[in-house]
Chain A
Amino acid sequence: MNAPGPPRIARALLRVAAPREDRDFIIADLDEEFAADSLSRGRTRATTAYLAQVMLSIPPLIRQRLTRPSDDLHPRARMLTDLATDFRQSVRSLRREPGFAAFTIAILALGIGVNSAMFGVVDRLLVRGPEHLRDAGAVRRIQVSLRPQGMEMVRTGWFPYAAYDAISDANAFLDVAAYSVSENAILFGRGADARRINRGEATPNLFTLFGVQPAVGRFFDAHENDVIAPQRVAVLGYGLWQREFAGRADAVGKAIMLDNAQYEVIGVAPKGFTGPDLLRVDVWLPESGIGRQRVGSGDWTKSWNSMWLSIVARLKSGISDAQADAEITALHQRAYGGRDSAMAKATLAVRPIHYTRDGEESSEQRVSRWLAAVAIIVLLIACANVVNLLLARAIRRQRELAVRLTLGAGRFRLIRHLLIETMTLAGAGGMVGLIVAYGVGTVMRASLIPGIEWPSGPVNPRVIGLSVAVVLLVGVVVGLVPAIQASAPDLSAALKAGVREGGGRRSRLRAGLTVAQSALSVVLLVSAGLFVISLQRVRQMDLGLQPDRVLAISIQRQSTAGITDSVARQRERDRRLAFYPEMLARLRARPDVEAASLTIGLPFVSGFGDNLRVPGRDSIPSLPGGGPFLSAVSDGYFATVGTRIVRGRAFGPADRAGSAPVAIINETMAETLWPGDSPIGKCFYSGPAALCAEIVGIAADTRRFRLREERAMAWYIPFGQEQGIGGTQLLIRPRGDPAHLLADIRREFIDADNSIVFVDGALLQDRLDPQIRPWRLGAAMFSLMGVLALVVAAAGLYSLISYFVTHRTHELGVRIALGAQTSNIIALVMRGGLGLAAGGIVAGIGLSVLTARWLEPLLFDTSATDLRVLAGVVVVLLAAATLASIVPALRAGRVNPIEAMRAE
């Protein structure tokens, strides 16, 4: 067997760099030394020495070749040396005009940087799909579509285990897996250090379906996921492994505490593995263990009521989506054993894997698609601007270029030289752009799209690759037209005249580019305005309660299952029940608490649909918003959450367990069940209650789950009178800083009751924020890019008007000499600038109206042709154009006619 030789790439580099007559000897010398070194010092050191020799040799060899006649050069090497010469000249000529160079590089850096940052986001959200997924094109999510009676079509991606079981043998698929990922769903550790982490649960074949390999250890298998006796084994997420076990391989085999139960760590998922969703997963557990807990008693695998799983499948090759849809719909309908008639007729469909768990594109994805388009617009504006500047510069350099052509430089060579110049500018812009991309990307990730696991930094190889491609493209696009124009000047005119000549065609091109820039800025600013208004509308929307003022707290306790004595167990349960009122009293006594109350069922957190009967009514109409919904609330609830009592009274301390049944209903329920009549004093049967509850008040409607939802009936009963619903939340309306209060309460609760293992608390607003995020993302990014575009376009207009003033100094001088007033001259120049801006505004408004159709679905209660926004943008653009034109106009007004004419 031949011993491996020196690195091939190094040898190839040497071959290109070395002169032909020495090439073979140099290589032979180094190869000989490499062979000797390999024997005496080992291959690694020999390779290092070889590489060092090559890297050190290339500069002197190239220098040697550059300093002698080039006729014996290898053609590729000659091209390289020519390019190097052009590059050196470009750098020199750009250094002569540092202002021009800096401005151009800055504009390109913004354009390229913003694009790279947006690419990073779009790449993650729309293109790449989940990490570690082999052959992602063949993997699909399953979505179910059903139309409940009286409601619109509902599409979701949540299934019971029984549905997974029904379709897991479908012929269309190679493999079908079920999983669920929940944020802050499981308690990790114990005592004061315990905290909630993100839990993933999966059938073992999720890992084989992905084709993912563990970083350490192994994933769980079918035996450990046994539906009757699942094992307590855990696979750590890579991040948790790094944080808690410092990435040590001996973490495998250790025991960890999850929800106060001991689990054995059997492996670690690889870095960036999140399953089909993009959410970080801290620990993966076998599905069966969680499924049993969720469904409770009975054979949990046969229940059709609890839906918590998402299903993914790998299609067999040659099977179309439609074929798969038909097969799984048939399997599901045949197997369905629940009582929901809409679900029995539901259709199933396969959807792309990068969609959300509901099988739809998320709002972030839709907004980011728009933002990618916007980033391209910003780049176009930047390019138009740079082309403009280059055209102006080409006119300044007309004479220099004419001299070169006359001295025998070929036109091709000249174009190449000019292109190298723009490439140099674009390259520098690209490098600075990566810094911009890092900044913009970091901010976007942290503030606008949190909760997504990013396997690499904002500037990663793919982003750099895109930047390089953009730089090359921009270099050519931006440079080509000015280069071709500049390389074919009218030689005799250029050599004779001063800098004055520009040519009408060229001026028209520049004016057209300026108009295009303004038009595109208008489009961006209009979009920004629309998103800002949407965000404002979302924030000002009357939700019926004040989520930013309400702290919702829930308590997790040790299970009472360990208490074997039934009397002791009942005593413990009673003690726990009494704990809430005690704590409520203590909280209300605090000076930093304005109001506090208890509730079961809370908007944006949990909701309970229940039946009701009204004496004298056969049926209860079903509303498109679903429901009716029931909550059990203590006295002070409405004051705590900030919901208005429209009529009647709120619950008082006397409304409690065992007191006379009373109820408060919402406005929709009052209007639906007692139209045109006062419901106060009437009564109805709440759920399974045997006694008719008297209506004592009417509360304002509140949102229940989403910002956008149909009205639904809802009623409230006193806390303690509820039957069959549970999950008490403690609500606090703090006076001061909620974070400080929360820390205090946590300590107080854990000290007061040793059965409490975790106190979970957050502002209600935090639950709502993910829903507001798309508008926030849109408003922030469109505003940023709109302002960038405006600044760049204004700078472009300024440079154009300045150029016109310089270009027409002679003409202006003549006008002044002939008696024109300063004001006439200023007006003349301003007219030019504002005329261009006006052209841009008209075109931009036209474009905005055309794109309105696509933008409108992303907005919130805002028309895409909102007149206030359009008018505002017109004013802003005119103001910017005035600012950009006024400085050159004033300069024009100060032209000294004698000097202007003498200069010619």
Chain B
Amino acid sequence: MAALAHLQGDAPGGEIRREIQRRANRTVAIGAVYATLARLEAKGLVRFYVEGPRPTPGGRARKHAVLTSSGERALRRTVTMFDRMLDGLTPRVSAQRT
């Protein structure tokens, strides 16, 4: 969800995967991304729409994930909770976060 938020809350699965890979610096399976998005959709945190093929050679239809308003709220809440949990931890852990 954080990766999706970084992509302005609207991106196809492949881009979300690349975003996570870039930020987390590790390989992420495309299957895992789609499976996770499906779970988030079931919880109403994201929704999907299909973008038609682009008018370029080899252009393909893409399935976009969009962060819903309850998704945004959930992300905000998680971040806040996370911050609160980390607040006051040793400088070493805090330094690693930044």
Contacts and interface: CB of A to CB of B under 8 A. Distances in A.
A63 B36 CA distance: 11
Nearest to A35: B58
A60 B13 CA distance: 15
A237 B60 CA distance: 58
B73 interface: no
A57 B61 contact: no
Interface string A502-522: 000000000000000000000
A19 B34 CA distance: 10
A590 B36 CA distance: 88
Contacts of A30: 14, 30
A883 B97 CA distance: 72
A63 B31 CA distance: 10
B8 interface: no
B96 interface: no
A22 B60 contact: no
Contacts of A14: 31
B20 interface: no
Interface in A1-50: 14, 17-19, 22, 24-26, 28-30, 32-33, 35
Given A64-B35, A64-B38, A25 B29 contact: no
B31 A25 contact: no
Interface string A51-73: 01100111111011000000000
Interface string B63-95: 100000000000000000000000000000000
B35 A63 contact: yes
A25 B38 contact: no
Contacts of B30: 26, 29-30, 53, 57
Contacts of B36: 60
Give the residue among A19, A25, A59, A61 with the most B Cβ atoms within 10 A.
A25
Interface string B1-41: 00000000000111001000000000101111011101100
A35 B57 CA distance: 13
A85 to B, nearest CB: 19
Nearest to A19: B38
Nearest to B16: A29
Interface residues of B, number: 19
B27 A56 contact: yes
B39 to A, nearest CB: 8
Question: Taking each of A29, A33, A64, which has the highest tally of chain B beta carbons within 10 Å of its own beta carbon?
Answer: A29
Contacts of B47: none
Contacts of B13: 22, 25-26, 29
A22 B34 contact: yes
B38 A53 contact: no
B61 A26 contact: no
A33 B14 contact: yes
A51 to B, nearest CB: 12
B60 to A, nearest CB: 4
A639 B31 CA distance: 85
B14 A29 contact: yes
A60 B31 contact: yes
A61 B60 contact: no
Contact of B31 (A18, A32, A35): A18
Contacts of B60: 28, 32
Contacts of A59: 31
Interface string A757-789: 000000000000000000000000000000000
Contacts of A58: 31
Interface string A658-673: 0000000000000000
Among A35, A57, A58, A63, residue most surrounded by chain B Cβ atoms (within 10 Å): A57
B31 A57 contact: yes
Nearest to B53: A28
Given A52-B27, A53-B30, A60-B29, A28 B35 contact: no
A124 B57 CA distance: 56
A28 B34 contact: no
Contacts of A53: 29-31
B87 to A, nearest CB: 33
Nearest to B32: A60
A14 B38 CA distance: 17
Contacts of B58: 35
A201 to B, nearest CB: 60
Contacts of A33: 14
B31 A17 contact: yes
Contacts of B62: 25, 28-29
Given A25-B63, A28-B61, A60 B14 contact: no
A22 B63 contact: yes
Nearest to B17: A29
Contacts of A25: 12-13, 34, 61-63
Among B17, B27, B38, find the residue whose CB has the most chain A CB atoms closer than 10 A: B38
A61 B34 contact: yes
Most buried by A among B27, B60, B61: B60
B7 to A, nearest CB: 14
A56 B34 contact: no
A32 B27 contact: no
A739 B60 CA distance: 79
Interface in A163-202: none
10 contacts: A25-B62, A26-B13, A28-B61, A29-B14, A33-B14, A56-B29, A57-B32, A58-B31, A60-B29, A64-B35
Interface of A: 14, 17-19, 22, 24-26, 28-30, 32-33, 35, 52-53, 56-61, 63-64
Given A26-B34, A30-B14, 7 more contacts: A19-B38, A29-B30, A35-B58, A58-B31, A60-B36, A64-B34, A64-B39
Closest 4 CB pairs of A and B: A57-B31, A56-B29, A29-B14, A64-B35
